[in-house]
Amino acid sequence: MTTSDKKKYKVIGTTPIRHDGADKVTGRAVYGIDFHTTGMLWGKILRSPHAHAKIKSIDATKALALPGVHAVVTGKDMAVARDIEVEAGETSLNYMHLSDNVMARDKALYKGHAVAAVAADTQHIAEEALGLIEVDYEVLTPVLNGREGMKSDAPLIHPDQTTKIMAFRFDPGTDSGEKSNIAGKSQLKLGDIDAGFKEADFIVEREYTTSWVHQGYIEAQNATAHWNNDDNITVWNSSQGTFNQRQLMAEILKHPVSQIKMVPMEIGGGFGGKIPVYLEIPAAMLSKKTGHPVKMTMTRTEVFEGTGPASAAQMKAKVGATKDGRITAAYAELVFEAGAFPGSAVGAGAQGMFTTYNIENVLIDGYDVVVNKPKSAAYRSPGTPQACFPAEAVIDELAELVGMDPLDFRMKNAAKEGDRRADGVQHPEMGNLECMEALKASDHYKSDLGGPNRGRGVASGYWGNAGMPASCSIAINADGTVSLAEGSPDIGGSRTSIAMMCAEAFGIAAEDVHPSIKDTDSIGYQGLTAGSSTTLRNGWAVFEVTNQAIELIKARAARLWETEPENVDFADGVFFSKAEKELKLTFKEMTGKLMETGGPISVAASVAPRGAGPSFTTHMVDVEVDPETGKVEILRYTAAQDVGTMIHPDYVEGQVQGGAVQGIGWALNEEYFFSDKGAMLNASYLDYRVPTMLDLPMIDTILVEHANPDHPFGVRGVAEISVVPPLGALANAIYAAVGVRMRDLPMAPHKIVKALQEKNGKTK
Amino acid sequence: MASEKTHVRTTLNGEATEYLCETNQSLLEVLRDVLLLTGTKEGCNDGNCGACTVNMDGRIVDSCLVLGVEAEGAEILTIEGVATPEGLHPIQQAFLENAALQCGICTPGFIIASKALLEKEPNPSEARIRHWLAGNLCRCTGYDKIVKAVVAAANTIGGKK
Ligand code: FES
Ligand code: FES
């Protein structure tokens, strides 16, 4: 379902077949894992079996003696990278930490941490060689929980690490001077929290935990690198940002950016997980040593153990409201396990927490704590699913205490334009309340649950979205078509959305624009395919190049009509003379006259847009809980989201549905099981178990098109936020169904059974 | 270490195909790394994602769980053999028209599996489709549009469009 006030576009808002469609349904599209080149060797990574251990020595003699093995590299072969932090889209990265994460130097900091890499003729030989590399470890006590790690007597993972105290997100901060596993402490503060709680008639305070979860993209990490004899490095991989990775490669390898070319292959999912570099570095080092291109891919187990999942969190939330249902104060403490290196998404989580509500007094303390687990990475609205879970669960309890319908309670407190977020920033124009109202007016809301042990839950969510730079170039063809080059890896249809915006601007069909995604040597700088920013920023880039092209073509028309360019205008795909009405030529007709009026036209531009419209959403879910087994069946699901102006509504809806299902997995069954030594015990799809088709109903959507006033086509980021509400919505629905408040994710059947037993025991 | 290679004869996408493979190579590896038919995708290499689904003698199998040598004498259909010079198969067309792919890495597996279903059962219910395709993971779409695409394809094939 779509709500839309105006339809002023011809191409935008339609649903053409994607430009890369035929390649992707016939198997011809070449993904990173599919790349192949002549003379290619295969690389494999040796990983630490211990969660925390000193690496005393590595002996690769036997591995190197194995026929078919070409080279081995270790952390000792790498220079120490600069210890500086850089903003990378929605999280930040530190070059030194990233380098140490790519390959351990002195200490292995989690089970699965890379310690050596080998290149061989085949994958099987490379695997065999791994078993012949001898590593002498001194096993250390691991730190496996955020709150434990915060204690002053906890073993220090990075012995020199002190705590950075930050007043806001991305604040350079001040140094506490005290050695600690707490890498960062941040605080968001608005109003007077004590005064706010004094005003409240009801206060609910609870504790919550979430587990480590993985993005679960189906295509594993991969990279093929060739270090040429002229010291130019080429990497073919699937990443969420070629330019960002080029910079990371340059820093870690200490190699000039100009001598690194990143070639974006098709990418099989990322969700934030394919922002950092992993295999790119050892593949390049092995290529340098061997003179061959080296291809590396991860196994699924390596993906789980050796890449960046989303942090587990231990959280407290306390919210107060008056008798008439006004929220007066909200407090939270968020402890995020960063993994082996600092940099969890706790700051982003704090920024998203309580943000759908207008609350005058807010205090959120965030802790970024290192533990001996994989280094966390971005995962769709990083940090926010975790933080919004306690917020939405506590608010649900408050609504019950106040005696209000949970949706009415949210609507009464909904943040509107001009209200302040906890970090003091005022909300721009957006559709928060519209989503809630649309849900209230839906058939779903009006429907009967129709049976025992069934319940309905709602939850809201916020995500700020990002801007980031973009570049685009177009060449106008004589037949009225346009070749469009851009540089954002297309993770879910973005080349079609940019082509559609281009077509809209010129008044031609989407099919007449031919988009392609270029390597870092062939197009201007491009931000990450992350932060829900791709279509937003590409829209700005294409707006720029099409405007410039239109001006150039106007001048050609003026030449034809023997007048001045300012006497020519362009509207609805037609160039016309302002003075003489009969002088007009369509875009297509004009393109056929470019050669005779001065030659071909192409335009390139780079932009750095701000004004990413924030996302707001509310989800509603009906469940049935089997009291015997604790199994939760999802009966009906509706996601209402402010999506701005939709370029391609089907792909917008797909983002909403896909994120909701990832959130459902996070809520109900996904988790890393760790042994008491820090080993992940379920590092396969079978045991980790992402939702299958059988676990789900259709995901209904209500797409509220509240155009972003700060964008030429009204675009707002749409891709991430839908993962946020399912955690709270499902917890609230389970309570409504069987009367137990589940505060520890995932809400697996055995936990629900236990909670029911406790509840029944108590009431007996 | 490189072992003795075995000579295997199969029918692949309707054409007689021969290859040499090592005994420890899976059919998936043979398709992708020996024959360079990379349309069949790898997502887990342990039988749990369905990205590598191919049709072998009329049954859908995870090709990562089949050895290359086991394909001797078999008839194999991969995604590369689904479209014809005349055009896309109705299932491929339906996936495009229903936006049933985002990143598309799962798509070849889903198309091969769906094709086998519709050849057996031309009018499957939503529940049946969800059951049949439960072995194919998609992390992008939430499956909604994939189910709709399979229904749409069934309607097209059955002439009910
Ligand atoms: S690769 Fe064969 S099932 Fe996943
Ligand atoms: S479309 Fe990406 S996994 Fe299915």
Model confidence at A8, pLDDT cuts 50, 70, 90, reads: confident
DSSP A311: P
pLDDT tens sequence across A320-363: 999 999 999 999 999 999 999 999 999 999 999 999 999 999 99
Atom 3 of ligand 1, residue of closest alpha carbon: B47
- b (16+ CB within 10 A) / e for A719-746: bbbbbbbbbbbbbbbbbbbbebebbbbb
Question: Between chains, do A654 and B142 touch, taking CB under 8 Å as contact?
Answer: yes
d(CA B49, ligand 1 centre) in Å: 5
Model confidence at A93, pLDDT cuts 50, 70, 90, reads: confident
d(CA A463, ligand 2 centre) in Å: 23
Where in chain B are the domains? Answer: 6-81, 90-157
User: What residue type is assigned to position A182 of the chain?
Assistant: I
- b (16+ CB within 10 A) / e for B99-128: bbbbbbbbbbbbbbbbbbbbeeeeebeeee
CATH topology of domain B90-157: DNA polymerase; domain 1 (1.10.150)
Global pTM exceeds 0.90: yes
pLDDT tens sequence across A384-418: 999 999 999 999 999 999 999 999 999 999 999 99
| A428: number of Cβ within 10 Å | 14
The 3 state secondary structure assigned to A434-462 is HHHHHHHCCHHHHCCCCCCCEEEEEEEEE
Q: Give the DSSP per-residue string, B88-100.
A: --HHHHHHHHTT-
**What class does CATH assign to A313-465+613-760?**
alpha beta
* Low-confidence residues in chain B, pLDDT < 70: 1-3, 160-161
- First-to-final CA distance of chain B: 55
Pick the CATH number of A2-28+467-607 from 1.10.3720.10, 3.90.1720.10, 3.30.365.10, 3.40.50.300: 3.30.365.10
Q: Can you tell me the distance from the alpha carbon of B122 to that of B113, in angstroms, rounded to the nearest whole number?
A: 13
d(CA A383, ligand 2 centre) in Å: 23
Q: Give the DSSP per-residue string, A717-728.
A: --SSGGGSTHHH
Dihedral class, residue B71 (left if φ above 0, else alpha if ψ from -120 to 50, else beta) = alpha
Where in chain A are the domains? Answer: 2-28+467-607, 32-142+221-297, 313-465+613-760
Question: Between chains, do B142 and A266 touch, taking CB under 8 Å as contact?
Answer: no
Does the fold of domain A313-465+613-760 match that of domain A2-28+467-607?
Answer: yes
pLDDT tens sequence across A159-170: 999 999 987 767
The pLDDT value given to residue A92 = 75
**Residue A16: closest CA among chain B residues belongs to which residue?**
B97
Distance from CA of B56 to the nearest CA of A (A): 18
Dihedral class, residue A741 (left if φ above 0, else alpha if ψ from -120 to 50, else beta) = beta
Q: Which among A81, A5, A456 is positioned nearest to A277, based on CA atoms?
A: A81
Contact A244, B80 (CB under 8 A): no
ipTM: 0.98
Q: Which among A522, A388, A362 is positioned nearest to A464, based on CA atoms?
A: A388
Using alpha carbons, list the distances in angstroms from residue A143 to A152, A163, A313, A584, A604.
12, 17, 15, 73, 51
Distance from CA of A89 to the nearest CA of B (A): 21
Q: Which among B45, B105, B26, B133 is positioned nearest to A696, based on CA atoms?
A: B133
Residues 192 through 221 of chain A touching chain B, CB cutoff 8 Å? 215-220
Residues lining ligand 1, judged by CB closer than 6 Å? B 42-45, 47-52, 62, 64
Does the fold of domain B90-157 match that of domain B6-81?
Answer: no
Q: Which atom of ligand 1 is nearest to the CA of A300?
A: 4
Contact A467, A610 (CB under 8 A): yes
Q: Which among A758, A651, A517 is positioned nearest to A12, based on CA atoms?
A: A651
Q: Can you tell me the distance from the alpha carbon of A348 to that of A615, in angstroms, rounded to the nearest whole number?
A: 14
The dihedrals phi and psi of A637, each to the nearest 5 degrees, come to -140, 130
CATH code of the domain occupying B6-81? 3.10.20.30
Ligand nearest to the CA of B44: 1
User: Which of the following is catalytic: A251, A486, A544, A720?
Assistant: A720
Confirm whether A720 is a catalytic residue: yes
pLDDT tens sequence across A650-701: 999 999 999 999 999 999 999 999 999 999 999 999 999 999 999 999 999 9
The pLDDT value given to residue A1 = 42
Pick the CATH number of A32-142+221-297 from 3.90.1170.50, 3.30.450.40, 3.30.70.2190, 3.30.870.10: 3.90.1170.50
Chain B residues in contact with A266 (beta carbon < 8 A): 103-105
In the sheet that holds A114-120, the strands lie side by side as A69-74, A114-120, A41-47, A294-297, A222-227, A233-237, A260-264
